[in-house]
Structure formats: C-alpha cells, structure tokens
Amino acid sequence: MSADLVLQTEIVGKRNEHLYFALRNRKVVIGSSIVLALLLLGVVGPFFLSSTPNEYVGPKSAAPSGDYWFGTTYFGQDVFAQFVHGLRSSYLVGALGGAIAFVIGLSVGFTAGYRGGLVDEFLNMITNVVLVLPALAVLIVISSYLEVRGVVSQAVIIGLFSWPWVAKAVRSQTFTLRNRDYVDLARLTGKRAPQIIVREVMPNMASYLLMAIILLFGGAILFAAMLDFIGLGPTNAVSLGTMMQQSMAWSALHLGLWWWFVPPGLAITAIVGSLYITNVGLDEVFNPKLREM
Amino acid sequence: MGRYFRRKLLIYGVTFVIAVSINFAVPRLMPGDPVARMLSRNKVANPESSEAMRAYFDNVFGFDVPLWQQYLNYWAALFKGDLGVSVYAFPASVSSVIAGALPYTLALLLPAILLSWIVGNSLGAMAARNKWLDNGVLPVGYVFTAVPYMWLAILLAWVAGVILGWFPVAGGYSFALTPTFSWVFIVDLVHHWFLPFLSLFIVALGGWAIGMRNLVIYELESDYANYLQALGAPRRLVRRYAFRNAMLPQITGLAVALGMVVGGALVTEVVFAYPGLGSLLLSAINNQDFFLLQGILLFIVIGVLVFNFLADVVYVLVDPRTRLGLEGGQS
Amino acid sequence: MTKRRTLIALIALPALAASACTGGGGGSENPSELSMNEFPRNETLYITGTGGGPPADWNTITPGEVTGLNGLGYETLFLFDPETTELDPWLAETGEWTGDLTYQLTLRDGITWSDGEQLTADDVKYTAELGQIEAVPYHNIWEWLESVEVVDDLTVEFTFAEARHQEWNNFLWAEQIVPEHVLSQLPEEEILTGANEDPVVSGPYTVHSYDQDRLAWVKRDDWWATDHLDLEVQPTFVVEVITTSNEVALNLVAQGEVDLSNNFLPGIQDLMASNPDLSTYHDEAPYMQQANTAMLIPNTTVEPLDDPEFRKAMASAVDGQKIVDSVYSGIVATANPTGLLPLWDDYIDQSVIDEHGISYGASEAASILSAAGYEDGDGDGFVENTDGEAVELTLNVPTGWTDWEEAARSMAADLQAAGINVTEEFIDAGAVDDARTSGDFEIIMNNWSGISHTPWTHYRYLFQLPVLDDQSTANFSRWENEEAWSLTEELAATASDDPRYQEILSDLQRISLEEMPAIPVWYNGAWSQVNNAVWTNWPSEADDTPNVIPTAWNGYWNMSSIYMLTELEPAG
C-alpha cells in the first residue's frame, strides 16, 4: 500500500516538471518543430495552392524554380502542389491508422495480459489470426470492393491490421508487471482490474506506450507508402507514396527528374524521423536518470 | 508444463484452421477470373474455343464444383501435401514454384533479420547506458528506421548500382551464368545478394536498436533495479538483469519478424528484381493465381505460427515468472 | 556476451546465406555439366519485357506457354509480314486454293525435328486434327474445316465445308506445327495440360536452361532455313530476363546488360539523346511501330451511351493529340477515326472518312450534342439526358496502369469541358476484367484489337454477335448491329484479292463511323528499345536494316520478327 501511494504522488508531482524539461530538451523541441511545421504545411498549404494537384499546369519536366518550387513532373504537374497534398494524406493516414491500432492493441494487450487464462488464450488467438492474416491480400480484396480507394479507408485498414504487435508487447509487459509486488498489493486492497491496469500497470509502461504510439504513427505512414508504392494507394488522390510510385513508373531518376522522386521520401523520413527523435527527448524528460547522465 | 504446451498447441491448431480457411476464402473473394486471365494472356480470341477451354480449365483447377466442395477438396489436398497447380506458371505445381523461390527469400531475409536483430539490440543496449553513443549513433539509426524502405532501396540501387556501377541491379545471379558449385558462381551470387541484403539490414537495424534502448532504460529505472542497486549489487549485475528482462518483447518481435519473412521481402524483390517469394506473391496477386497465392500465404501462416510457438517456449525459459501467469495460477 | 555473439554471427551468416543460395538457386540443370560464364556476352542476345512469367510450360496447347516457344522453338507454316500484310511461306513451300473448298499445302523438303526425325505432312495433319479436341485454342477451325488428307510425305490437302479465307490464313501463320511422332505417344490429358519439358522442336533454338527469372535458348545446328533460305540466326544464345518493374528493365537496357527491351519505357526518347547506344525503330515520333488500338468502350446498354450521336459527341470531345503529347511524349500516335492500324492503311476508305468522320473540337461536340437534343438545362456545365435526367458517367481503368490513368484523366477533363460529365476512376485490374466481361460498367478502355493479317479481326472485335451475358473477347460495347456482323462474317470468307473484300471493308468503316461502337483514341506502340553496344543492325526504318517489328512478344517471331535474329550483326 505504501509503495502504491508513493508512486502515485510521484506521478502527479512530476507533471509540471515534465513540461518544464520538455521545453528545454533540444530533441523534443527540434523534433516536434519539424513534425508540426510539416503538419502546418500540409494543413494550410492546400488552401493556397491548386486543389487539383494532378492538373497539367506547367512546362514538362522543369527543374525547381521560382514558379515551381519543386519543379514539375514528366507531364508538367506542379510537384510542390502534389507534395503539399501528399503531406496532408500522410498525416491523416498516420494519425488515424495509428490511433485505431493503438486503441485496439492496448485494449487487447492489457486484457489478455492481466486476465490471463481463457481470456488470454482467446485474445491471443485473435491476435495470432490477425497477425498471420496476409494483410496485403485482404487489403486488395477490401479495396477492390470499395468503389474508390481513399486515404481514410487506407488508414482504417492499416489500423485494423497493425495492432497485433502492440497487443503482444503490451501483453508480455503486463505479464511481468502483474506479478510485481505493488500490483499484488493493489489487488489485495480490492481494486478492480481496470483500475489496477490504468493506475498501476500503465504508468509503469508509459515510456513504452509512448514509443508504441510514435512507432504506430510512423509505421502507418510507412506502411501506407509501401502500399502506394506497389500500386495499392488511394486511387484518385495524391499521397507521398503515390508520388514516389508515379515518379518510379515514369523513370524519374533516369530522366534526371530527382525533384520528383526525392522530396516525398525525404518528407516521410523527416516526419517519422522527427517523431522518433522527439520520442528520445521525451524519454529523457520522463526519465530523470537519463537527464542526470 | 506439459499441460501448458498441450494447450498452446491446441490454440495454435485452432488459429491454423481459421487462418487456412480465411486463406481459402480471400483469393476467391478477389475480383477477376484466373482462367479468363490465363486465356486472355494467350490471346485465345475465338469465342467458340474460349468457351470450351474455359470449361476445360475450370475443371482442371476444380472451379466447376460448388464452393463448399472446393473448400473440402482444399483441405483434403493440403493433408496430402498437394498445394495444387499454379495458374500463372501452369502447369507447374505450386510446391515446385515455391520451392524454386524459397531459397532466395530465405538467404536474403534470415541473415538480414537475424543480423539486424543482434546488432540492433547490442547497439540499443549499449546506447541505453552510454550518453555519447546515444547522442551520436542512434539519431542515424532513427533516420534509417524512418526512411520509407523502397525509397532508400531505390536510391541505394541507383547510386551503388547505376551511377557507381559497383553492384548489379537485377537478378539473383548474373544472367550470363548458370548455377554451378564454383567460386565464380558463389561470388556472383553474393555480389547480387549484397545490395538487397544491405537495404533490408539498414532499415531493420534502427527499429531493434530503438526498441532495445527504450526497454533497457525502462528496466534500469524499475523498482527491482533500484532495489538491487540500493542493496549494493554491482552495476554489471543490474544491467544484466535489465537486459534479460528487456529481451522479452524483443524476442516476440523477432518471432514476428521471422514469421513474416515472406511478406517482408516483397518490395525488396521488386526494387532489385530479385527472385523470391515476394515477387512471386505480387505476380500471383496480379494474375489472380489462387493456388500460388494460397500456397505462399500458407507459408506465411505456418511461419508465423511456428515462430510464435518458439517464442512462447523461449519465453518460459527466459522468464520463469511468466509461467505462473501463463498457467493461470493467479487471476 | 552480446558482443561475442554478434561477431560470430557477423562472420558466419553471409557464408551460410551463400551456401543456402547455391543449394536452391539451381534451375533445371545438373551443375557438374556446366561450365562457367555459360553465355559469352558477344554471342548472347539478352531480351526483357516479353511479358512472360516464370518459365514452366512448353506446351503449345495450354495457355501461358513460355514466350519464344512460338518462333524460336516451334514454327508456323507461314510467316505473316506486317510490312506487306502478306503471308510468306515458312515451313510450307507453297499453299494454294486448288478448288472452291480445297486447299493444298506443300512442305519444304528436309526439315528435321531436333530429335532427327523428318517434319512431314503427317505432322501438319496431326496438328490440325488436334483442334478436334474441344479444349484446343483453334478448335473453331473444325466448324468449317471438313477433313485433312495426307497426299504424300510433303503434301497435305484440306477440304472445307465453308471457305473462310481470312480465318484460315490466321491458322496458317499463327498455329505452331507440333511433332506427331512425339505427341501421339502421349495420353490426351498429357497433351492438353502437360508441361512438355524438353520439347522436340523444328525452329532455330532449343531450350538451354531456365530459372524463376530467366529462360535461355541455345542455337540448333541443323535448322532447315540455313539450307533452304540461307538464313542463320546470329546469337548462339537468347536469354530472356523476366523483370517485374519497368524501372529495372530501363536500367538493364541503358547499361547494355540487356540488348532488347520490349517494356513500355516512358521517356526513352530523352534517354536516347544522352545515350548514343540506345535506339528505337523510328528516330523521331512516334519512335515505335503501332501494335494495337487503344479505344474508349462505351457500354451501349446504358443511357445515353446507347445513342450513336452521344458517342460521336464523345469522340469529337476527346483530344487524342493531347494524350499523345503529354502522357506519352510522342512515343505513340493518334488513331485513325476508323481504328484500323497503320498496317491496314491500304484498306482505309478516305471517302468514307471524309463523309462520316468526326473531327476533334469541343464546339463540334457541343453542336452534335445539341443537335441530338442533349442540353444543359440546369446550367451546371453538363448536359442532361433527353428526358432531363442528369448524366453522370464513370470511366474505369485499372489502377497501376500509369499511362492509362494519365490518359483517363486527360480524357475525362476533355469530356467535362465539352459538357459531358465523365469522371475517371481507377479500380483493381481484376475488377476491370470482371466489369468488361459482365458488362457492369459505363465506360472502360480496351486495346485488344491488334496487329493481324486482316482487318476482319478488328471488325470481329467491334461487332461480334450475339451479345452474351459474358463477353470475354469481343464487342465489349454490347452494340447490336446485325448488318455489321453479317458483313464481318462475309469478310471472313472473302479472299483479300476479291473486289468484294474492299467493298465490305468500306461498308464496315462507314458503319463504325456512323455508330461509333468504340472510340479509337491512340495506337499503342510495339514497345521496343535496343542497345547497340553488343549487337547492331537492329530493325529500323532505315533502308539498310530489316523492316520487321523488333519485339519478342509472344506471337511476334512468326510476324517475321525472326528475321531480326538472322540479320543482327555483332558490334565492332
């Protein structure tokens, strides 16, 4: 009981301190700045640019210039306009796909890990089935039955298929935590399971869960890019992945149109990479030990 | 212990049945018609003939019986080890097509996954207790993890293959060779293997390192570590415990990664025109080759199940505490 | 502990991987029999982009035989020459109609199969009679062919119930003659679906080896054409490389690792400017020869696409030149309004086009629309149906077919500008197949009318009746015109030198322009880009080079492309 109390007060007391350190952590500041800056570009940009980024507007295969900041494609489409629309799609896929996967993964993982027994076996089975289900093939079937493949449907499908590893990892962490003394103590005091999970187990996995969110967000963006690349992207919209796919299909590198191929990949790297860097910084914030080092 | 594994096996058995059933259903729900695709590929233009050929091949592939019967036939054939005949590579059997592609995929992925896992975890564990390493090396790892895989692979192929000309950009071995057990051939094989391997290794490396680093840090600040330290246990000992505990999720991760070997190489094989199950999978999808698709998916399913089971076994060996939970000793 | 393990693994794994590779990388050959560097570069022709899958099938009856089997391995009685649209004797020395319903064919003397047996009249009879089995692709000849008689070792006589000249010619140049002495020993099951590994062939090459991503042919010593026609195939080896992406194919051909790429490689004209080794058939637009006609297929069971006037308005609204220029950068050409390929130029009746042809222009489209009663009543910029209902149409193309996607965008924009509300939508390729077969679509694209010896195939593609629930090869528009179909059937039975032949063709052109069952937009090229570093004297428009189509696609060797191999010259 006493360990429990100490832990709780510590957590509450740390909150303001966390913010203080977060704002002074270079990794957090730089990482989140990049993520937010690109997000802003993706959200605001399309309002200032053409709403039809696939239109043939300029000269063909033009290098970056004052008129076309990122040059034009093989057909004379404005790469910057596509890029900005693509950013928006990527964030949408990342946020939506990541959120869906996180919620499912967390619920399944905690329940399975804490309950154990038959519940665990059942959930574990579902997790295994989803895990071994060939997501790619299922995605093709689902998407071909959708009239038009959109960014949102892609995000939902990605979310529905990328939670198992979170569930598994959370489950195994919960397994080890549930036998810890303070959890036993909490149980002895008659707390109900959800309460124990939220108050005892979760805070002890905070850094891990944060990592999971960030990995899921980044993972969803990367998975979407892969689907786009093999031709399963949104059918009538622009995303960073379809930009790469199009530029490859039209041999952009061979024709010297690097400005068509490089920016989308670089942007994804920047977004996902900055998220990870932020994660490292946040870790230092949450983990005083690291700050001391 | 025996009871625990018996139950595990049962669960995996049920998972297998469900997965195989879905595996049966998925390709059949796909739009398109494999026989029509096959006939049109060969430009069978006479409508009279194509009707007759349709009927004939529907029969050859067993599409002319009701769906439930196809399902039963599918299971029956499966137990005989018969995966059917490929539509795309007709009349080769699915097993032989897969057998031809499997070695490439395994040779590419097993080293890439295992090496990146080992190196990544070591780096991560080291970074967790070394400020310099944490600040210097890991950011690079983060960037590699964040790179869209095909983008990196294409740039790698473009720079090292096309511009510098150091490595070939297509094929499992030189198109001027036929397989022999000679140094020339083996060197050539490795030469072709290197770039795809490297791209997979680089991208996987960062993920393991990040995961391991975060886990070790979490373990190092956990109660038992603090307690041990307070008791005056040597730092090395504490780290060893932390490391062992942090390994648990990573083992799960490795099992998943190993199980997914087939799907994982799809993009690599496309970018580097490398033969293997991934490019076969894509062709099977594009050509609506149900049987080949099912065969490959079956491999993925079995792979994941086997490795998950292995992970369970290792789990018990590494962390005796979990045994209690697994057996439902407390609830 | 960790460090040590890492090191060991670092050393051990690549070695392990290498041995694993070798163990399974093997193709069909016994490694001990093979020497190193099997295919010397200057004796080997590397090809890619022929569209084949992993080599597995050497059976002429089953669909999906390896590319090259027809032409390099097995051969046809005649070759079809797209330059002259004539049939040239190949395995046959002569062939002629000896009566209204009889055709006599004489084989060349001294043709041997690769097992040493003679190729005789029995092989021809056997091949034709295989068609009596229903599941054989050319089964349809037996609807009008009555019997095949062996007159002597080299002479065969065919007796017909109906003399379908054009369809018969198709058999003569498209069907491969197979060895009777081999196949007649096999059960029917095996003939129909067997892999026929190690085929006994008559052609210039035989199978050397294969693997998942390659197929190698090796030259035969005793090819009949060396004696008879003084022809010799130049490359000792022909290796077909199976690539999954055009990007890789472009790499290979640009670096000279592959000599001939039959992939669609956009931007090739720009690359040629910087890489002097690369060339195409023409030095300038359209660079390629034309292989088939890309057409908009309106579903004529859907309103208002059932109205020929509406379809004509669509035809005049679509700017083919824009697609040629911006999507293809000039490597394709706009289609003739009749949709007939350039090789049939002689059959095109210009007076019919002058009278019924439709020219491009948004205003033209608008006047056709208003003349036919389609007006924009509600002022939304799009016309409504004659009954006032809004017109909303969808143009479906397979997702991932990049050039078609771009072309569809361009066409939808044109149609919208002309007041016809068409939106492009990209769906799974399989779903497009389903839609095309079942008729569950509004507008799609299709290009299955390609090079052949007669425009009859084009009109069969357009007009074939009856319209069934499933249309799998022709008349995807589902347009029913009895007159056009009976003319097409008459065309099949008319000899090319009969004056009636051109009359029918003019009539068919008139009908196709008046009713516009499909809208020809552009001609797809016979994609072909070659690298001159190892082999030269590739087919081109120049006078001193062969004029055949430089492609190794299935069914092109017997369109005279085999001459490409006999005319190649080693570089420097």
B44, B186, B283 member nearest C18 (Cβ): B186
Contact A59, A119 (CB under 8 A): no
Please judge whether A283 and B293 are an interchain contact, meaning their C-beta atoms are less than 8 angstroms apart. no
Find residues 169-208 of chain B whose CB sits inside 8 Å of chain A: 207
Q: What is the predicted pLDDT for the residue at C36?
A: 46
Domain range summary for chain A, segments of one domain joined by +? 3-48+91-290
pTM over 0.90: no
Q: What is the predicted pLDDT for the residue at C78?
A: 95
Instruction: Report strand pairing: C260-261 vs C529-531.
Output: antiparallel
Q: What is the predicted pLDDT for the residue at A4?
A: 45
Residue B43 pLDDT > 70: no
What's the average model confidence in pLDDT over A121-146? 69
Nearest of C66, C50, C432 to residue B88 by alpha carbon: C66
SS3 call for B274: coil
* CATH fold of A3-48+91-290: MetI-like fold (1.10.3720)
Q: What is the predicted pLDDT for the residue at A138?
A: 65
Domain range summary for chain B, segments of one domain joined by +? 101-330
Torsion of CA C355, C361, C365, C370, to 10 degrees: -100
Chains near B with 3+ CB pairs less than 8 A apart are A, C
Please judge whether C425 and A147 are an interchain contact, meaning their C-beta atoms are less than 8 angstroms apart. yes
Give which of B38, B49, B97 to mutate to test C binding, by max C Cβ within 10 Å.
B49
Give the model confidence (pLDDT) of B244-281 as tens digits.
Answer: 777 777 877 787 677 666 555 778 888 888 888 888 88
Q: Is B92 exposed, middle or buried (0-12, 13-18, 19+ CB in 10 A)?
A: buried
Q: Which domains does chain C possess?
A: 13-73+203-288+526-570 (3.40.190.10), 75-183 (3.90.76.10), 290-525 (3.10.105.10)
SS3 call for B131: helix
Please judge whether A176 and B27 are an interchain contact, meaning their C-beta atoms are less than 8 angstroms apart. no
Instruction: For residue C328, give the chain A residue with the closest CA.
Output: A75
- The verdict on C431 touching B (C-beta cutoff 8 Å) is yes
Please judge whether B30 and A144 are an interchain contact, meaning their C-beta atoms are less than 8 angstroms apart. yes
Please judge whether B56 and C194 are an interchain contact, meaning their C-beta atoms are less than 8 angstroms apart. no
Helix (H) or strand (E) holding C126: helix C121-130
- The verdict on B103 touching C (C-beta cutoff 8 Å) is yes
**Mean pLDDT over the full length of chain B:** 78
Give the model confidence (pLDDT) of B162-194 as tens digits.
Answer: 888 888 878 788 887 777 777 778 888 888 888
CB pairs under 8 A between B and C: 271
Q: What is the predicted pLDDT for the residue at C350?
A: 92
- How would residue A148 be classed by pLDDT, with cut points 50, 70 and 90? low
Please judge whether C271 and A255 are an interchain contact, meaning their C-beta atoms are less than 8 angstroms apart. yes
Residue ranges in chain C whose pLDDT is less than 50 = 1-36
Q: What is the predicted pLDDT for the residue at C503?
A: 95
Give the model confidence (pLDDT) of A150-167 as tens digits.
Answer: 788 888 888 988 888 888
Q: How far apart are CA C334 and CA C202, in angstroms?
A: 40
Residue count (chain A): 293
Amino acid at residue number A136: L
Task: Just give the CATH number of B101-330.
Answer: 1.10.3720.10
- Which bin fits B171, alpha (ψ -120 to 50), beta or left (φ > 0)? left
Give the model confidence (pLDDT) of C503-537 as tens digits.
Answer: 999 999 999 999 999 999 999 999 999 999 999 99
The ipTM assigned to this model is: 0.79
Q: What is the predicted pLDDT for the residue at C461?
A: 92
Residue A180 pLDDT > 60: yes
CB contacts, 8 Å: B91 with chain C? 56-57, 59, 62, 193-195
Q: What is the predicted pLDDT for the residue at A2?
A: 42
Q: In what order do the strands lie in the sheet with C237-241?
A: C205-211, C214-219, C237-241, C44-48, C260-261, C529-531, C278-279
CB contacts, 8 Å: C402 with chain A? 246, 249-250
Distance in angstroms between the alpha carbons of the first and the last residue of chain A = 31
